[in-house]
Amino acid sequence: MYCSPFVVFWLAMRITGHTVLVTGGASGIGFAMAQRFLAEGNTVIICGRREDKLREARGLLPGLATRVSDLADPLQRIELAAWAVKQFPSLDVLVNNAGIQRRLSLLQTLEWDELHTELAINLEAPIHLSTLLVPHLRKMPQPAVINVSSGLAYVPLAITPIYSATKAAIHSYTLSLRHQLAPHVEVIEIAPPAVNTDLGGPGLHTWGVPLDEFADAAFAQLRSGSTEISYGFSEDAKQATAEGRHEMFERMNKR
Ligand SMILES: NC(=O)c1ccc[n+]([C@@H]2O[C@H](COP(=O)([O-])OP(=O)(O)OC[C@H]3O[C@@H](n4cnc5c(N)ncnc54)[C@H](OP(=O)(O)O)[C@@H]3O)[C@@H](O)[C@H]2O)c1
């Protein structure tokens, strides 16, 4: 499809001068995004459960605003959104990045509360925070919601069944959100491949793409106006045919 340079310019998210809330911004991909947004002259607020990690992030990136918040809890999401709008009336970008990943055997007896926590953090929180903040965001001149999904949205990793399902759901929700919010709020999806962070616990993702390599590539795509950001495995999975995805599933989930 032909897109005139004017249209591309108009659609591309301006990368500076925003006030950005990054959930889970004290570590991993969220921290790398917060670092890059700050360097580009944005005001950046991060949240997470661990006060010490937030303090450490503030030490590394002076100028960050931080807030302790457990996004598994709907009340804390409401408090976070109200606090952010009150303290930062210029808030115009929400980055739904916080997430956890659990490896589970579905043959075992599992407690619903435990399963639900992963659903609550990875799926309910981004939907709830978007719902809470869109009425504010849409009043701003160039607002955006950025949802962090995963390559596993396209091809599930069977040992992380709830995680993979939440990422497929976030991918789907992002398509609908983009459709409904256009042209008021730009909606962007970042689908990382495996990246070397502490996701799922230290040491489980050391084989992934180096964090800075991924964050630089994602930010370059953001700067160029892409609304569907992927890299390496997630790009391959997104572009694959149904048959290709089936083959990827078989390969990834060999017993
Ligand atoms: N690394 C990968 O291979 C990969 C691949 C695809 C997608 N992703 C996605 O990228 C995002 C970031 O993950 P990451 O790899 O950077 O892992 P990470 O380093 O473990 O970061 C996850 C962040 O989320 C925060 N968080 C978790 N539960 C939370 C809660 N209940 N309330 C508030 N904050 C919470 C954590 O902070 P606290 O623990 O202090 O709360 C942490 O800062 C996730 O959505 C993940 O699914 C990662």
**pLDDT, tens only, 63-121:** 999 999 999 999 999 999 999 999 999 999 999 999 999 999 999 999 999 899 999 99
**114 Cβ closer than 6 Å to some ligand 1 atom:** no
Token pair of 32 as six digits: 């790398």
Nearest atom in ligand 1 to 120's CA: 31
pLDDT in tens, 135-157: 999 999 999 999 999 999 999 99
pLDDT in tens, 223-242: 999 999 999 999 999 999 99
CB of 22 closer than 8 Å to CB of 46 = yes
Sequence-ordered list of residues with C-beta below 8 angstroms from that of 160, at least 6 positions apart, any chain: 101, 102, 103, 104, 152, 200
DSSP string, 90-131: T--EEEE---------TTS---HHHHHHHHIIIIIHHHHHHH
Quick one: average pLDDT of 178-186?
Answer: 98
Domains of the chain: 15-252 (3.40.50.720)
Nearest atom in ligand 1 to 25's CA: 43
Expressed in angstroms, the distance from the first to the final Cα of the chain is 42
142: nearest Cα among 93, 176, 177:
93
Token pair of 87 as six digits: 């303290």
Residue of 47, 83, 100 with the most ligand 1 atoms within 8 Å of its CB, for mutation: 100
Sequence-ordered list of residues with C-beta below 8 angstroms from that of 103, at least 6 positions apart, any chain: 159, 160, 200
Residue-level pLDDT at 14: 85
Measured in Å, residue 249 CA sits from the centre of ligand 1 at: 24
Active site residues: 163
Using the 8-state DSSP alphabet, how is residue 13 labeled? P
